[in-house]
Structures are given as structure tokens and as C-alpha cells.
């Protein structure tokens, strides 16, 4: 059978629906559906994957015993550690460092620079990466970074927008730190030479984000995370801070009395382990998108497998808000090669409208993400007004041509080069045709609980970025994640620098905590082959896996 | 699809090929690709990355974001009967019948060490740190190699002339995959040169907006402390009310 014929990237039957979108476009140009009332928001949220029946259970061990969380996450928390004391020799130390940073995205890299800036010598810092330095969600952040810097904006407004979006579950002191440091972080980025979009008069171009009451979003085209990360990594490299790649952490080490004192790294290519001794350890390992919670595709990078939360829980750190997961409303739903990929919220703040198969605008385009995502699910699966792709996925249209109608010709090339490029590769011109979207797993809202300096409940252990919990409550706003990584990366760097200066006790390295963890699992009656952290997802073909044998072991 | 399934299960079922890997029984169209010379039959709809996974490769290198932003999965390939050596990101390039390929996930390249706050904002900064830029023979191989379709040679020439604006703007979408440097007959490291040019341009061309300076100063002086201490102590009920009463800036 011949492959399906495509016209401008779409099969003929989808073209028919696009025709309807075109017919209503000029009428919709000046019409925006009203925002939901709080009651309406509550109702549509029942369809959100966090609230829809199933998908969760209660955690049966550890400091958060009894808390409810996604099954995919709990499966990793209720799993046996990868190594035990008999597997490794802890008396042969390969790296002895003051500050160990695990994870080199925006948070970890920023932490390293600020530890150095705060007086820790470069040789006393070690940044470790599971994959390459920069294989992180940070680099894929498209939309922007929030900072309340304009005269009509305030820290108060930023705080209020964020806590309302987070369903009032955000930790107040941590959230205060986020909004307080935001303008400083923008200033720091400028000093490093980051190129942030400007108006003709030199002001920043500041855009709306879903759930904000003021235009507060600083962008670098639609490559914001890439630009921020590139300059920060370049700065890191100029300081010649030690950095090793392709060395995931398989377990933390403790002194046997609850203080973190290092980690066991594992060469992902050769299988050899390395022992690190450290006075302070910062986990900046990112989130869990690659767990595909509730079977959703994801925007996340390959290594987003919840490692940090698992490692922290092994040493007894307290978690919070692990029950909620962020689904980004606009993940690509077509073509199949890019399903789940992020289409930035900035498309909607620049005028692109969500539209159903009949060309009707059905929702206010900038509801908080959980509400917007739920309304798309409703349109597709309750109202049956979605479009079904050739592979059976459903989605609604995001009417991107409206962006140029509202902002002028050439705007998309200037503001969304990344999106243009991605769709061009599949013969779709987003200036002329809408794109099909459906919610995609995007962000770990909760994580390891911290204080405003990234300190966890366990001595010697800090966290920064997506691995942490509290700052975003139960739903993160756009533009607050890149901000989170830099604010708390910096704070963790400063805080650990202070800690190591005044700390000269002899450090013992043990895996006592894994013994305790295994005992807890056994006491709770958990019988399983599961082991964690999992380090990477597995997409290998099933037919191949069925015939795989290992003759080297 | 089972009609009795609830919405969440229906969504999960429809996305299965993306979340758990492709099942051969769902595939109609197949192509043959050659990974470092060895033939594999793979579904025609896949990218080079997902096709190699289908064939049994579990990546520990040559993979990163999987969405075209990180530059980890650089790949070179030729198509059957074609003399042309092509480049692309494995995660962004669809497989074609007869494609033979190899990944280049790492490029040995020297990055200059500098302190951006101490550089002079002129062409000497570029020449000092990357003197080999003068060896560019304008062959345009770098441009042809760029998976982002950037005008690499043009930005290198702009950097050589000290035109930071052009060098920065033309190179802005660079994902630093290194394919330009791998192919360059003059042994330039284009993507590192561009990084220096962009940082210079960003730091020295755009003054800080006054309102940003003012806000940072206000925060340092503790101007908002009282207001923030109050809202940090607000009850949920008070917050709900404040949130509902927020005034939205006009568009």
C-alpha cells in the first residue's frame, strides 16, 4: 500500500477541517472567549489527569508515608536501590571535593558558578552529568523567564499570580525568594552577555504568560533556555570548574547518621563506578517526564527519569506536592515524529488561538496550564470536537496564522524560528496553516522539600530546580521554571559555599541508608524486582528485546 | 480501541507508540537503513533516533533532548545512489530507504578561555581568542553542514570583520552540535567563535533598562519587605480574595 498523500504536510481529511478554521479566522481575529469563572475552572479540572479517577496510590514507606502520588513515581520510590555495600569499595576515594553538584542543567551550572563566586576554589567543586553537560530540560525551555521589573509590576503581583496558579499550596518563604531574586537574575544574565528580546527603545519585550496579570515574560526568541544555558555554561567553562560527563549517580553516600557525604557515580559506557566524597551535595537532576505518567507523551529530555527524588528519598529527605503533574496544554499531536514536543505558550500570548475541528474558538487561550489542558481534553473526548490523526491521536488546532495577522508579516520567523524550523522539516508552514496540539507531560510540580536556600531536611544535601518541591505549589506558571533554576541554583551555590567554609569534621562514607531503606521495603511487604533510579527510559523494539542475550556477563 | 475504556486509558492507548516504543504489528510501511553499514528494516514513519531504538539500540551517547535543541545527536548520512554527504540531527530527521549513516556525537574542539567583563568590544577579541578564524577560505562547507540551516560562513565572516550584530543574529539559533567544526577544512571552531561573538554583543550592545536597575536597587533597599511579609502570612481565604480581585493589565 502506498503511503498516505500529504498536502502541505497534512492528509486530505485534515485539510477539510483546516478549511473550516480558515473560514472562521477573520471572525475570530477580534474575539477571545471569556476566561472561566473559578467554578467553571473547578469543573473542567475534573478531567485533568491529576484528578481523573485512577493513576495514583498511597506511598507505603519513608517520611512521606501515606501521601498520594502517581503510580509511576511510587513504583520508583518503592523499588530496591541499584547498589548495596557489598558491591562497592568505599575506602578508595576517586574524587574528594568540597561541593558536589549532581546534574548540569541551568540549576546545577548556576550553582557551580555562584559557589565559586562565593569563594570556593574551582578545584573544590565538581559538576557531574548523567549525559552531556547541558542534556537537560533547561536547554529546551522556549517561552521565557518571569521577573517583575516593569514599573507597573511588583513582587507582590508576581507572588500573587504564582500562588493563585499553584492552588495556594506554594511554600511562602521559598516563593518569596523566587520573586525577590528575579530582577537580579535578569541583570546577571545581561552581564553574562545573554541576548534578551528588546523593543526599539531598549526596553525588554515582555509577554503574557498563562495565569499572569501583567506582561512579565523575558524571552530570547523561542530559544530562551538555550540562550540562557549557553552563556551560563560558557561562563562555567571559562572558570575551568571540574566537570565530568556520562557519569550518572546511582546512589548517595551518608555518614551513617543521616548526613550526606558523597555519591557513587557510574560510567555509563564502561560500567566502572567512582566514589566521590563531598562536604556538601547539591541535587540538580531535573524532573520525571520520561516516566510517561498516565501514558502521556512528554516534552522532557531523555534523562528526565526522577533520579533526584529517588536518591533524596533513599537518604530520608522529605518530599512535597508529588501528587500533581504538569501537562503542558500545547504539545504537538501531529506529525507522529514530533508527538509530545513542546509548542511554547508564547504562541498563545502572541495571538495563536485554540480552535476545534469546526473552526470554533472554545476557550480563553491563557488559562493556567492545568485548566487550559483540561479544556482541550474536554473538547476532544467529551464534546468529540477534536481531530483524529492517522495514528489515532486526538488534538485540537492551534491557529498560528493568527499571529501574523495580529503582529504583521515576518513576525513568526523573528519570534518563533525554532517552531518554524521544526514544522518545516515536515513540510508544514505554521505561518499559513494551524498546528495540531494536545496536552503533553511537561513538569514535576513537586519534589524534594527545601528552605529558601535550597537546603533539604537532610544535612549536607541541597536541591535546586525541578527536583525541588514547594515553590510552584501544585501547578507551575510559565516562565517560573527557568527562573526557579537560576534563583535556587545561585542560592544553593551561595549556601553550600558558606556551609563548607565552617565545616571540617571528618567525613565517613557509608551505604547504611540503603540497608535501612531495604528494611523498610521488606517491612512494608514490598516484593518486587524493581530497582531505582532507572537512569534512562527504554524505547527499544519489543521483538529485539525478546531475542537479546548477554554473553559478556 | 475498546469503547469501554475511560478517557485516560483511551489517551494512553493512542500514544502508546510514542511512550513505550513502536510495535511491529502496527506498522504498514517499512524502509531499510544501514547503521554503520549494517542493514535494519525499520518503520518508515520514524526518525533516525527512534528507528535505531526500534532496531535495538539503547542510547547512552548521541542522544539528549530528542527535540532538536541540544545538538547531541549529530548524524552524517548518504542516500542510495547519491554522492552527497548529508548532515542532520538524528531526532529531527526522518529515515529514508537506503540511508546509510553514522552518528558524530562528539567533536574534539578547543574553546578559548576568557573573562567577558574584561574584553574590549572590537574585532581584536575574536582574533585574540580564535586567530584561526583568519584561515577561513569561504568554501561554505560549514553552511552546508548546519542542521539548523544557519548561514554559518556569513556569521564567521561577520565575526572576522568585527560585525558583532550580524555574527550574533545570524548564529543565534545555533545548537552547538559541532558539525560545522567537524567539516571545516580550515579547522575553525565556528560554534565557539559564535558563542564569544554573541556574549560580546549581548553584554556591550544593550544597556540595562533603567527600570530594571531601579527595581534591583529597590529590592536591595528592602522597599517591598513589609508588603511581602504581609502576603507571606496571608491565609488561603485572603489570598483567594486577592487573587480574584487582581487587575489585569490591558493588552
- In tens, the pLDDT along A33-85 reads 999 998 999 999 999 999 999 999 999 999 999 999 999 999 999 999 999 99
Domain identity same for A101 and A117: yes
Helices (H), chain B: 7-14, 16-19, 48-54, 123-129, 141-145, 152-160, 164-171, 179-183, 190-205, 210-220, 225-233, 236-244
Overall number of domains in chain A: 2
Bond into A335 cis (ω within 30): yes
Range(s) of the domain holding residue A407: 6-50+326-441
The answer to whether residue A202 sits within a structural domain is: yes
A539 inside 8 A of chain B by CB:
yes
- Our measurement of the distance from residue A548's CA atom to the centroid of its chain's CA atoms, rounded to an integer in Å, reads 33
The answer to whether residue A545 sits within a structural domain is: no
The answer to whether residue A108 sits within a structural domain is: yes
The answer to whether residue A238 sits within a structural domain is: no
A223 inside 8 A of chain B by CB:
yes
Between positions 118 and 147 of B, the ones with CB within 8 A of A are: none
Binary contact (B15, A296; C-beta < 8 A): yes
pLDDT digits (tens, 9 = 90+) for A338-361: 999 999 989 999 999 999 999 999
Q: Give the one of B45, B63, B211 whose C-beta lies nearest to A149's C-beta.
A: B211
- Our measurement of the distance from residue A317's CA atom to the centroid of its chain's CA atoms, rounded to an integer in Å, reads 20
Domain identity same for A396 and A437: yes
CA distance B157 to B138: 8
Binary contact (A231, B11; C-beta < 8 A): no
**Residue A2 in this model has a pLDDT that exceeds 60:** no
Compute the average pLDDT of residues A269-281: 97
The answer to whether residue A518 sits within a structural domain is: no
Binary contact (B228, A176; C-beta < 8 A): yes
**Residue A270 in this model has a pLDDT that exceeds 70:** yes
Q: Name the closest residue on chain B to residue A148, using Cα atoms.
A: B215
pTM of the predicted structure, to 2 decimals: 0.97
Q: Name the closest residue on chain B to residue A36, using Cα atoms.
A: B244
CA distance A464 to A487: 9
Handedness of CA B34, B38, B44, B49 (dihedral sign): negative
A328 is catalytic: yes
Domain identity same for A269 and A364: no
Domain identity same for A407 and A493: no
Mutate: best of B1, B5, B11, B189, partner A, most A CBs <10 A? B11
Q: Give the one of A234, A302, A541 whose C-beta lies nearest to B64's C-beta.
A: A302
Q: Name the closest residue on chain B to residue A339, using Cα atoms.
A: B18
CA distance B227 to A284: 31
CA distance A394 to A438: 7
Residues of B in contact with A223 (CB under 8 A): 69, 172-173
| Cα end-to-end span (Å), chain A | 44
Q: Give the one of B168, B208, B240 whose C-beta lies nearest to A190's C-beta.
A: B208
Domain identity same for A477 and A366: no
CA distance A45 to A100: 41
CA distance A187 to B193: 24
A59, A61, A516 from A519: Cα distances, Å: 16, 10, 5
Between positions 177 and 206 of B, the ones with CB within 8 A of A are: 195, 198-203, 206
Binary contact (B113, A225; C-beta < 8 A): no
Binary contact (A163, B44; C-beta < 8 A): no
Binary contact (A422, B199; C-beta < 8 A): no
Q: Give the one of B115, B201, B209 whose C-beta lies nearest to A195's C-beta.
A: B201
The answer to whether residue A24 sits within a structural domain is: yes
Domain identity same for A426 and A485: no
CA distance B193 to B191: 5
CA distance B14 to B49: 21
A378 inside 8 A of chain B by CB:
no
CATH assignment of the domain containing A123: 3.50.50.60
**Residue B96 in this model has a pLDDT that exceeds 90:** yes
For residue B1, the model assigns a pLDDT of 46
The answer to whether residue A230 sits within a structural domain is: no
For residue A1, the model assigns a pLDDT of 41
Nearest in space to A353 (alpha carbons), one of A317, A312, A398: A398
For residue B4, the model assigns a pLDDT of 66
Domain identity same for A134 and A199: yes
B46 inside 8 A of chain A by CB:
yes
A380 contact partners, CB below 8 Å, separation of at least 6: A386, A394, A395, A396, A438
CA distance A406 to A30: 9
Q: Give the one of A191, A391, A417 whose C-beta lies nearest to B203's C-beta.
A: A191
Q: What is the architecture, at CATH level 2, of domain B116-205?
A: Orthogonal Bundle (1.10)
B2 inside 8 A of chain A by CB:
no
| Cα end-to-end span (Å), chain B | 44
A295, A375, B7 from A382: Cα distances, Å: 19, 10, 9
pLDDT digits (tens, 9 = 90+) for A504-549: 889 999 999 999 999 999 999 999 999 999 999 999 998 999 999 9
Domain identity same for A257 and A288: yes
Binary contact (B60, A268; C-beta < 8 A): yes
Binary contact (B243, A160; C-beta < 8 A): yes
Instruction: Give the end of a domain, one of A390, A413, A441.
Output: A441
Chain B nearest C-alpha distance from A44 (Å): 14
CA distance B204 to B117: 9
Q: What is the CATH number of domain B27-103?
A: 3.10.20.30
A52 contact partners, CB below 8 Å, separation of at least 6: A46, B6, B7, B8
For residue B83, the model assigns a pLDDT of 95
Between positions 48 and 77 of B, the ones with CB within 8 A of A are: 50, 53-61, 63-70, 72
Q: Give the one of A139, A154, A221 whose C-beta lies nearest to B172's C-beta.
A: A221
Question: For A270, which DSSP code?
Answer: T
Instruction: List chain B domain ranges.
Output: 27-103, 116-205, 210-244
Chain B nearest C-alpha distance from A476 (Å): 16
Please identify which residue in the block is written with the cell numbers 531499510. B32
Domain identity same for A202 and A99: yes
Nearest in space to A322 (alpha carbons), one of A206, A419, A451, A445: A445
If 0-12 CB within 10 Å is exposed, 13-18 middle and 19+ buried, where does residue A121 land?
exposed
What band does B3 get if pLDDT is binned at 50, 70 and 90?
low
Query: Contact A356/A376 with Cβ under 8 angstroms?
Result: no
Q: CB A290: neighbour CB atoms within 10 A?
A: 24
A84, A161, A246, A454, A511 from A88: Cα distances, Å: 7, 49, 19, 30, 10
pLDDT digits (tens, 9 = 90+) for A363-385: 999 998 899 999 999 999 999 99
Chain A nearest C-alpha distance from B134 (Å): 23
Domain identity same for A294 and A424: no
Compute the average pLDDT of residues B215-237: 98
pLDDT digits (tens, 9 = 90+) for A374-428: 999 999 999 999 999 998 999 999 999 999 999 999 999 999 999 999 999 999 9
Domain identity same for A428 and A475: no
Domain identity same for A312 and A184: yes
Q: What one-character-per-residue DSSP string does A139-156 give? A: GG--S-EE---STT--HH
CATH assignment of the domain containing A396: 3.90.700.10
For residue A41, the model assigns a pLDDT of 93
Note the ipTM here: 0.97
Handedness of CA B171, B176, B182, B188 (dihedral sign): positive
Amino acid at each position: 500500500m502506498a503511503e498516505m498523500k500529504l498536502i502541505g504536510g497534512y492528509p486530505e481529511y485534515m485539510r477539510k477541517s483546516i478549511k473550516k478554521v480558515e473560514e472562521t479566522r477573520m471572525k475570530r481575529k477580534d474575539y477571545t472567549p471569556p476566561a472561566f469563572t473559578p467554578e467553571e475552572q473547578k469543573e473542567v479540572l475534573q478531567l485533568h489527569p491529576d484528578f481523573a479517577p485512577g493513576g495514583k496510590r498511597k506511598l507505603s514507606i519513608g517520611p512521606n508515608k501515606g501521601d498520594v502520588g502517581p503510580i509511576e513515581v511510587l513504583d520508583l520510590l518503592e523499588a530496591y536501590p541499584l547498589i548495596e555495600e557489598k558491591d562497592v569499595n568505599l575506602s578508595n576515594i576517586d574524587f574528594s571535593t568540597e561541593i558536589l553538584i549532581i546534574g548540569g542543567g541551568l540549576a546545577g551550572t548556576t550553582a557551580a558558578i555562584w559557589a565559586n563566586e562565593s569563594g570556593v576554589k574551582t578545584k573544590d567543586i565538581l559538576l557531574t552529568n548523567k549525559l552531556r553537560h547541558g542534556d537537560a530540560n533547561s536547554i529546551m525551555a522556549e517561552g521565557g523567564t518571569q521577573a517583575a521589573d516593569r514599573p507597573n509590576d511588583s513582587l507582590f503581583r508576581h507572588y500573587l499570580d504564582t500562588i493563585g496558579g499553584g492552588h495556594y499550596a506554594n511554600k511562602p518563604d521559598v516563593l518569596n525568594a523566587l520573586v525577590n531574586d528575579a530582577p537580579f537574575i535578569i541583570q546577571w544574565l545581561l552581564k553574562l552577555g545573554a541576548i534578551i528580546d528588546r523593543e526599539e527603545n531598549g526596553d525588554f519585550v515582555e509577554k503574557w504568560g498563562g495565569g499572569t496579570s501583567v506582561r512579565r515574560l523575558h524571552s530570547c526568541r523561542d530559544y530562551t533556555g538555550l540562550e540562557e544555558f549557553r552563556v551560563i555554561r560558557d561562563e562555567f567553562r571559562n572558570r575551568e570548574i571540574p566537570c565530568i560527563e556520562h557519569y550518572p549517580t546511582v546512589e548517595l553516600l551518608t555518614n551513617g547518621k543521616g548526613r550526606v557525604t558523597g555519591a557513587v557515580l557510574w560510567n555509563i559506557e564502561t560500567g566502572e563506578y567512582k566514589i566521590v566524597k563531598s562536604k556538601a551535595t547539591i541535587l540538580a537532576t531535573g524532573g520525571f517526564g520520561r516516566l510517561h505518567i498516565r501514558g502521556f507523551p512528554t516534552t522532557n529530555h531523555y534523562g528526565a527519569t526522577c533520579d533526584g527524588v529517588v536518591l533524596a528519598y533513599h537518604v530520608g529527605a522529605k518530599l512535597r506536592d508529588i501528587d500533581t503533574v504538569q501537562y503542558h496544554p500545547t504539545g504537538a499531536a501531529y506529525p507522529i515524529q514530533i508527538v509530545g514536543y513542546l509548542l511554547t505558550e508564547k504562541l498563545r500570548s502572541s495571538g495563536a488561538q485554540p480552535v476545534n475541528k469546526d473552526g470554533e474558538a472554545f476557550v480563553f487561550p491563557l488559562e493556567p496550564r492545568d485548566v487550559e489542558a483540561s479544556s482541550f481534553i474536554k473538547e476532544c473526548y467529551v464534546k468529540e470536537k477534536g481531530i483524529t490523526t492517522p495514528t489515532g491521536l486526538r488534538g485540537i488546532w492551534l491557529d498560528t496564522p493568527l499571529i501574523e495577522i495580529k503582529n504583521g508579516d515576518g513576525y513568526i520567523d523573528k519570534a518563533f524560528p525554532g517552531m518554524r524550523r521544526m514544522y518545516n522539516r515536515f513540510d508544514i508552514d505554521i505561518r499559513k496553516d494551524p498546528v495540531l496540539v494536545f496536552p503533553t507531560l511537561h513538569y514535576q510540580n513537586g519534589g524534594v522539600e527545601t528552605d529558601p536556600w535550597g537546603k533539604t531536611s537532610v544535612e549536607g544535601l541541597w536541591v535546586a530546580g525541578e527536583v525541588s518541591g514547594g515553590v510552584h505549589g501544585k501547578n507551575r506558571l510559565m516562565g517560573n521554571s527557568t527562573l526557579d533554576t537560576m534563583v535556587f541554583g545561585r542560592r544553593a551555590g551561595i549556601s553550600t559555599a558558606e556551609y563548607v567554609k565552617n565545616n571540617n569534621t571528618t567525613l565517613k562514607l557509608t551505604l547504611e541508608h540503603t540497608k535501612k531503606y531495604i528494611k523498610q521495603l521488606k517491612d512494608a511487604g514490598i516484593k518486587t524486582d524493581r530497582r531505582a533510579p532507572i537512569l534512562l527510559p527504554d524505547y527499544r523494539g519489543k521483538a529485539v528485546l525478546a531475542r537479546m542475550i548477554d554473553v559478556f556477563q | 480501541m475498546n469503547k469501554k475504556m475511560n478517557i485516560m486509558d483511551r489517551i494512553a492507548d493512542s500514544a502508546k507508540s510514542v511512550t513505550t516504543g513502536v510495535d511491529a504489528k502496527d506498522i504498514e510501511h517499512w524502509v531499510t537503513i544501514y547503521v554503520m553499514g549494517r542493514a535494519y528494516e525499520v518503520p518508515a514513519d520514524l526518525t533516525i533516533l527512534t528507528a535505531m531504538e526500534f532496531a535495538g539500540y539503547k542510547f547512552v551517547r548521541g542522544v539528549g533532548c530528542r527535540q532538536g535543541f541540544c545538538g547531541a545527536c549529530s548524524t552524517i548520512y548518504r542516500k542510495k545512489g547519491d554522492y552527497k554527504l548529508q548532515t542532520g540531527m538524528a531526532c529531527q530527521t526522518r529515515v529514508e530507504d537506503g540511508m546509510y549513516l553514522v552518528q558524530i556525537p562528539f567533536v574534539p574542539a578547543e574553546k578559548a578561555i576568557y573573562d567577558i567583563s574584561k574584553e574590549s568590544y572590537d574585532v581584536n577579541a575574536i582574533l585574540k581568542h580564535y586567530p584561526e578564524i583568519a584561515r577561513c577560505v569561504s568554501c561554505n562547507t560549514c553552511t552546508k553542514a548546519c542542521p539548523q540551516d544557519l548561514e554559518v560562513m556569513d556569521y564567521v565572516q561577520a565575526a572576522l570583520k568585527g560585525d558583532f550584530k550580524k555574527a550574533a543574529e545570524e548564529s543565534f539559533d545555533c545548537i552547538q552540535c559541532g558539525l560545522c567544526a567537524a567539516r571545516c577544512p580550515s579547522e575553525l571552531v565556528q560554534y565557539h567563535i559564535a558563542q564569544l561573538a554573541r556574549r560580546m554583543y549581548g553584554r556591550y550592545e544593550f544597556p540595562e533598562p533603567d527600570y530594571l536597575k531601579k527595581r534591583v536597587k529597590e529590592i536591595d533597599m528592602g522597599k517591598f519587605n513589609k508588603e511581602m511579609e504581609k502576603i507571606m502570612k496571608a491565609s488561603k481565604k485572603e489570598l483567594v480574595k486577592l487573587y480574584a480581585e487582581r487587575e489585569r493589565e490591558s493588552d
